[in-house]
Structure 1
Amino acid sequence: MGLPLSLFIFMPFLFVLSTLHLVFTLSSPFMQPLCHHDDSSALLQFKKNFIIKNSTSVFFLPTCDQKVASWTVEGDKSDCCSWDGVECDEHTGHVIGLNLSSNCLFGSINSNSSLFRLVHLQSLNLSYNDFNGSHIPSQVRDLSRLIDLDLRLSRFVGQIPLEISQLSHLSSLDLSYNYMYSFGHLITLELKEPILRSLVANLTSLQKLDLSYVNMSSTVPNSLANLSSLTHLGLRGCGLQGEFPKGIFMLPNLQHLDVSGNKGLTGYLPSFTWSSPLETLDVGFTSFSGELPASTGNFSFLTYLSMWGCNFSRSIPSSLGNLTKLNVLDLSDNYFVGNIPRSLGNLVQLSSLYISYCQLTGPVPLILGNLVQLFSLDISNNQLTGPVPLILGNLVQLSSLDISNNQLTGPVPLIL
């Protein structure tokens, strides 16, 4: 039996209407899904476990965001997707982001925390809070969709659980600066070597890894050099030992590398025959040694270079004058000999220059008067000779100048 003629006539019109209705349904702000009740309940229960601690006692934060204070199911704020610090998936309504950084939360997180019911979370930031010596529960594995996890400066202590290595989607993991004092003893986060190696082996998508001041007391695994996506590596003050893998310097995307404060860590800077994206390099207070290669001057993106308290020797290469984006250069407390390179006068963006406690000789280069952005200049405790250059009076931004314990002669220029 055929369709009526009138239906054929109106079919294009009906198709247009249905299409418009579909487009309106998908795009209308009034049709967005509300927060799921389970997620809302989990967030409110999480809130009840904490108090807002005086901001002056939590890492000297000037203010607290107190985002959780606005969480309520009453009135027009009943949808948790509208709560401060909460992000929902626009299609499903599930909570996918939780940012409670600097909320001055005080309390503990345990294995029963309702936080681990938010299984759709992709981003979790609990930094700058006070979790009062909590351990990171192994239930963190339930947040299997996490891409970003930031727990820095939140007074977590104890052993980092192996289950963190199961979060295979992580691109950013920051557990840095977690410690507290108890009865005069320093307690920190700890990461045993087998767990460290498992973490590096499984989290192959990492772009940022910061474990600064996590107690490792181990060698740096060579497998770190396999994380080709890594842009940020922070291992400051971890008790690292042994030789630092040269391959890490060759990571193609690495922009920030900080291994300072590990006196048991040895190593050297290789000669670089490639273009490096490094912007920050800090190997200060380690046992790195050897000659500073001329190719260090190829780090054209560097803004921060610190090598204080190491065992570097021979002369300071003049190629450092090529690092024209540098803001901070610290070569103090090494065994450098020879003159201060005149090429350092090219570093007109410098705000801090430290070359103290070396064995440098010769005059203070006049060209240092070009560094008009300097706030701090320290060339003390060397064997520099000759007069104090009058041209240092050009450094009108200086707030700190130390030229003591040298063999300088003549008067200090009045302009200083």
Structure 2
Amino acid sequence: MSSFEGFPNNFSTCQVTDSWSWVGKLTKLYTLGLENTRIKGEFLSFVANLTRLSALSLMGNNFQGEIPGSLFQLKNLEYLDLSSSNLSGFVEFDQFSKLKKLKVLRLSDNKLSLQSKPNLGATFPQLEVLELISCNLTKFPEFLKNQYELSFLDLRNNSIHGRIPKWVWNATRETLFTLHLAHNFLTGFDQNPIILPWQNLDFVDLQSNMLHGSLPIPPQSIRNYVVRDNNYSGDISRSFCNLNNLQALDLSNNSLSGMLPKCLGNSSSLEILDLHHNSFHGSIPQICPGKNSLKMVDLSYNQLQGKVPRSMANCTHLEFLSLGNNQLSDIFPSWLGALPALQYLSLRSNGFHGMIGKPATNHEFPKLCIIDLSNNGFSGKLPSNYLDNWNSMKFVDDENHQIYFRVSPTSKRSNTYADSYDVPYSITTTAKGVELKYDATPYQLRLIDFSSNRFEGEIPAGIIGNLRALHSLNLSNNALTGQIPSSLGNLTALESLDLSQNQLSGRIPGNLAQLNFLAYFNVSHNHLWGPIPLGQQFGTFLEDSYQGNSGLCGKPLSKKCDSSISPPPSIFEEDEDSGFQIALDWYVVLPGVVSGLIVGVVAGNFWTSKNHEWFLEKFSRKRQPRGTRGRRGHRN
């Protein structure tokens, strides 16, 4: 037998001694892979017997204690992966000098403390891959000075301070393809190079450090350039437009400023453009003027002005578009509805205005799952025709087992050790009464936020009740009138419903109490009256959810409901087709009709028995319209 791989799905957690010692007798093994087999206990001591091993992978287990010295007697090892195996203790890098053939070393995500001697470099094996994620490093290991074949270097999630020394790139200038230095305390590069010195660099990830100064320009070979969450300043050089292989450009959460280069959106290879949370100003350049591959555009939280460029109608691969929190002034960009892959659209907190008309076709925004138009100046009625088209909010996709929304660039790896940048949707929205930030957005989330606009008229009952996959609906701070539709009770996945600060009237539909997942409910500052529904989630909502509605009664309010409670006087002043008068129930109308009829009959008989039939006929015709209105209202 030359190789053996464990079967993670077939093994339960097991002790080393009772399940795996027999492997030590397979002395002719060249490859041993026991990844994620949930082995616990001391390290596999029998591995020392497998002297012919060239590849050993024990990642994803639950060992106890240190890496045994016997491991370093495996002179033929070329591949060693001990990552995520709960190993602890101090490890001297010079021990790996005994493994002269070693090419791949992965020790990430353990409890190890790694130490490097100053004179180690000359004797350390020439690695191609080095992964030391979360290994408590405080500086760059000095043996890197003599690593002339390194293609993949990953030192993420350590505590490396200061500047990136020149000797790190001197040794790997021609060989390095992938560089991960994210989540450290790096402040810059030695000698502040204008262009990064690696000639064949494919992927660089420097996010979440303390890097500052001007933004360094990557080499022509770059595919993924990620420097988010730093403090880079200044503008974006036009040289970025000449990076013909660039697929992902993430400069978000820096202090960059100036105007965006007009050529920035011209690239046919660019798939991810993320510039949110900077200080860019001026207009949005013409994005997707020709052939393009863009899947994500995030320009939110800047100071951009003007209109949404019509060229974006050509972004047929676009899944994520966030233009929120800028100074844009435009009407609703309805032409975006033709984008067949768009799942997320945010125009929040800008100067968008005007009415949202009818869609050009019945297939606008076919895959839209999340839309945020809040804090703008949109007016007119709610866009019911658009709502009716959003099939992704009507049905839950049970066949897709994806956990989070994410954008995955097309794989175009130029090297075995090149990496790819997989980006989850990061969104900020208002739900459950607070502003929420999702660093990774759940794939099942369906959300509509039209709050803080000037929408008026009634909530489209029949259409809104069809959005059964909806999790959050925010229509607050508008001028909506009419009743709360009972069809909202169909939204069985609803977790947050905010209808506050409108002019809604009538009762709170009792069937809303059947929404088992409703965690937030706010109808404050409307003109609602009558008893608050009881049971289920409604027992958890506080008084704040109902304040500003003088006609409401029942828990959690201190005002108790009177069985003879009448609707507000203004109900009789409404037009007979208004829907507010419809709120009268038969238990109020019927006694009045009956008592009036009795008094009328008695009075008629008292006047003259001759006119008895005539009086009843006239009375019946006069009363019928109101009775009909009462029945129509009762059905609603």
Classify the secondary structure of the residue corresponding to 2:330: strand
Pick aligned residue for 1:144 from 192, 199, 202: 199
| 2:313/2:339 contact within 8 Å kept | no
Query: How has the CA–CA distance of structure 1 residues 271 and 411 changed in structure 2, closer, same or farther, with 3 Å as cutoff?
Result: farther
1:324 equivalent in structure 2:
366
Give the structure 2 partner of residue 389 of structure 1: 485
Task: Tell me which residue corresponds to 1:356.
Answer: 451
Larger mean CA deviation between 65-74 and 400-409 belongs to 65-74
**Match for residue 319 of structure 2 among 267, 275, 279:** 279
Q: Is 1:74 the counterpart of 2:127 in the alignment? A: no
Shift of 1:118: 2.3
Task: Work out the CA distance in 2 between the residues paired with 1:314 and 1:207.
Answer: 36
CA pair 73-80 structure 1, distance change in 2 beyond 3 A? farther
Asked if structure 2 preserves the Cα contact closer than 8 Å seen for 1:237 and 1:262, the reply is yes
Say which is worse superposed, 342-351 or 136-145, in terms of deviation: 136-145
Q: Secondary structure at the match of 1:114?
A: helix
Distance change in 2, residues 1:241/1:274 (3 Å): closer
SS at match of 2:103: helix
SS of residue matched to 1:242: strand
Label 1:81 to 1:271 Cα distance change in 2 as closer, same or farther (>3 A): closer
Instruction: Return the alpha-carbon distance in structure 2 between the equivalents of residues 203 and 230 of structure 1.
Output: 9
Partner of 2:278: 238
- Counterparts in 2 of 1:171 and 1:273: CA distance versus 1, 3 Å: closer
**Which protein has the bigger helix share?**
1
Partner of 1:333: 375
Bigger Cα displacement from structure 2, 218-227 vs 314-323: 314-323
Say if 2:288 and 2:311, in contact at 8 Å, map to a contact too: no
- 1:175 corresponds to: 227
Q: State the alpha-carbon separation in 2 of the partners of residues 68 and 301 from structure 1.
A: 50
Q: CA deviation at 1:110?
A: 3.2
Structure 2 CA distance for aligned equivalents of residues 313 and 69 of structure 1: 63
- CA separation in 2, counterparts of 1:402 and 1:65? 46
Unpaired runs of 5+ in structure 1?
1-27, 33-62, 179-187
Which structure has the larger Rg over C-alpha atoms? 2
Q: 1:111 to 1:317 in 2, by over 3 A?
A: farther
Deviations 1:53-72 (A, max 9, x none): xxxxxxxxxx9999998784
State the 1:294 CA deviation: 2.8
Taking structure 1 as reference, are residues 69 and 256 closer, same or farther at Cα in structure 2, changes over 3 Å only? farther
- 1:130 maps to 2:184: yes
Rate the CA distance shift 1:147–1:329 in 2: closer, same or farther, 3 A.
Answer: same
Shift of the 116–365 alpha-carbon distance from structure 1 to 2, 3 Å rule, reads: farther
Query: What is the alpha-carbon distance in structure 2 between the residues aligned to residue 221 and residue 264 of structure 1?
Result: 13
Spell out, residue by residue over 1:22-70, the C-alpha distance to the aligned partner (whole angstroms, 9 max, x if none).
xxxxxx99999xxxxxxxxxxxxxxxxxxxxxxxxxxxxxx99999987
Structure 2 vs 1, CA of residues 142 and 373 (structure 1 numbering), >3 Å: closer, same or farther?
A: same
Deviates more, 1:250-259 or 1:305-314: 250-259
Cα shift readout 1:86-116 (whole Å, capped 9, x = no counterpart): 8549xx9922112334x33342333345355
Shift of 1:371: 1.5
| Identical pairs, percent | 27
CA-CA distance at 1:169 after TM superposition: 0.7
1:107-149 CA deviation, whole Å, 9 max, x = no partner? 233334535522211011222x221x51244367332210111
1:43 corresponds in structure 2 to: none
- The alpha-carbon deviation at position 206 of structure 1 amounts to 1.1
Distance 1:273 1:254, change over 3 A: closer
| Structure 2 unaligned spans of 5+ | 1-29, 32-51, 55-83, 109-126, 131-146, 394-445, 513-636
Measured after TM superposition, the shift of residue 201 of structure 1 is 4.1
Report the 3-state secondary structure (helix = DSSP H, G, I; strand = E; otherwise coil) of the residue aligned with 2:303: coil
Please name the residue that 1:224 is paired with: 264
SS in 1 for 2:504: strand
Alignment counterpart, residue 403 of structure 1, candidates 499, 512, 531:
499
Helix, strand or coil: the match of 1:300? coil
Report if aligned partners of 1:265, 1:286 keep a CA contact under 8 Å in 2.
Answer: yes
Letter paired with 1:107:
H
8 Å CA contact 2:286–2:312 kept in 1: the answer is: no
How far did residue 292 of structure 1 move? 1.9
> Which of 308, 324, 334 is the matching residue for 1:268?
308
1:64–1:74: structure 2 CA closer, same or farther, 3 Å change rule?
A: closer
Query: Alpha-carbon deviations, 1:348-381, whole Å to 9, x = none?
Result: 4341110001111111112111222222110111
- The whole-number CA distance in structure 2 between the counterparts of 1:413 and 1:339 is 22
